Amino acid sequence: MQRFFNRRTRPADANTANSVGNNNGGTIREKPARSGLLSKRGNRHANTGTTHGNGSLNTRPTFGQWIKGTWLDLLTMVIMGVIGLGVYKAPPAPSRSFPVYQVTGDVMFPEFAYPLRKEIIPIWAAAMIASLIPIFIFLCMQIRIRSFWDLNNSIIGLLYSLITAAVFQVFVKWLIGGLRPHFLAVCKPNVAAYGAESGIGFAGIMYNRKICTGDEKQINDSLESMPSGHSTAAFAGLIFLYLYLNAKLKVWSNYHPAFWKLIVTYMPVLGAVLIAGALTIDEFHNWYDVVAGGLIGTTMAFSAYRMVYASVWDFRFNHIPLTRNLPFHYGDGPSAFDGFHDAIFTRKAGWGSHEGGAFGGAPFDATHGARGVGAIAPEGPGYNARASTDARRADGGRHSVSRKPVGAQRGDGIV
């Protein structure tokens, strides 16, 4: 495994003031390094001339360095998991009121009178599908990508999405909830045993769970219908995988990809929809429970992906893992010395090569200059005025107006 991930050069200096690069990702002139990635000890640059650039940051750290950089995340995940499990096990907080019969004796809400059936997809199966399948695909992608930090960020980001979505939805279930389609079947209300005076509200037609004679555990569960936990987990995990596949296969990119890539990219979305839809077939959830769970899971997936990758939709950057100690600069030239230009599966249209990573920036979303983790942007520390002028002349003055990095204005590249 060490050999599998360790084909990269050693980390670049975390102090960007010690490196100078030209505006089109050319030669990097380096001063003595003082500190390496995730380490207090200095790591010297390795100008190896490989396709990964000089002083690549895309290298496998030691276990101690990895723990130093991720221990707080791991601790937070454990704490959130304990909180989520505690809320999940707690009985529903509100005491709901509901009618049972109309004046004519008919059932008031037949949509809550479905029979209790066995789940088509149990919650444990939905959670495993939403977590293990993406992780398996992340590992398979490393056959070509071979980047420790890409695998690290993809798995960590997936856990961000799943755990945050799970805790979010259990709190909503606990405090808001709602009636499942089989509520009356498990409640087994006995209105006659309490007499007419047991009703509450106007005309005494409303009741609470005191009239239920069924199993207490099933009643508690049937009072916590919204949002759907299955749907939340499915969309949190599989939408994250969808975003990952789109970035690594460059489906929405600057060239015409093969049709199979579109099919593969949307397979996770189909899986999430099928898991969510199955809950309306087995009468465990209402349609609006499923929609709410899908929205929660999708929101967390997008948020988590953007935390660990440089972009969600911008095809130039959405495959690049973000680091903790250095900001990513959104230049329009080739990647500088981060080595993440080939953290990608496809090799079409120049993708995966250092030269193929150079793209002209659209207005206001990428500045002219070397891009990458810790790359030197125009007018920033170590700015090379002659290199900047030469680069502008080389491209016909297309970027004759000097602009400060967008990341410096918005803080978008700061992790």
Give the model's pLDDT for residue 394: 43
Strands 328-329, 372-373: parallel, antiparallel or unpaired by DSSP? Answer: antiparallel
Alpha-carbon distance 345 to 46, whole Å?
25
Distant-in-sequence, close-in-space partners of 384: CB < 8 Å, separation ≥ 6: 20, 21, 22, 23, 376
At 278, is the secondary structure helix, strand, or coil? helix
Give the model's pLDDT for residue 404: 40
Closest CA to 372 of 19, 4, 6, 114: 19
At 21, is the secondary structure helix, strand, or coil? strand
Q: What is the enclosing helix (H) or strand (E) of 28?
A: strand 28-30
Give the model's pLDDT for residue 270: 96
Alpha-carbon distance 197 to 112, whole Å?
24
Q: What residue spans define the domains of the chain?
A: 1-58+322-415, 88-308
State pTM to two decimals. Answer: 0.75
Distances (CA, A) of 393 to 24, 32, 54, 362, 387: 12, 31, 25, 19, 10
Closest CA to 315 of 364, 233, 250: 250
Amino acid at 268: P
Do 224 and 173 form a contact (C-beta atoms < 8 A)?
A: yes
Alpha-carbon distance 326 to 15, whole Å?
9
Give the model's pLDDT for residue 374: 60
pLDDT in tens, 142-201: 999 888 999 999 999 999 999 999 999 999 999 998 889 998 889 888 877 665 556 777
Q: What is the enclosing helix (H) or strand (E) of 206?
A: strand 206-207
Give the model's pLDDT for residue 350: 78
- Ranges of residues in the chain with a pLDDT under 70 are 1-56, 103-105, 193-198, 332-337, 354-370, 373-415
Two tokens, residue 307: 């935390």
Spell out the SS3 assignment of 309-378: ECCCCCCCCCCCECCCCCCEECECCCECCCCCCCCCCCCHHHCCCCHHHCCCCCCCCCECCCEEECCCCC
Give the model's pLDDT for residue 262: 95
φ, ψ for residue 135 (rounded to 5)?
-65, -40
pLDDT in tens, 323-375: 887 777 777 666 665 777 778 888 887 787 766 666 655 545 555 666 776 66
Residue with tokens 């593969």: 264
Virtual torsion, Cα 76, 77, 83, 85, nearest 10 deg: -170
Amino acid at 211: I
Closest CA to 38 of 56, 15, 22, 61: 61
Query: At CA 287, angle to CA 282 and CA 292, rounded to 5?
Result: 120
Give the model's pLDDT for residue 142: 92
Closest CA to 149 of 319, 31, 313: 319
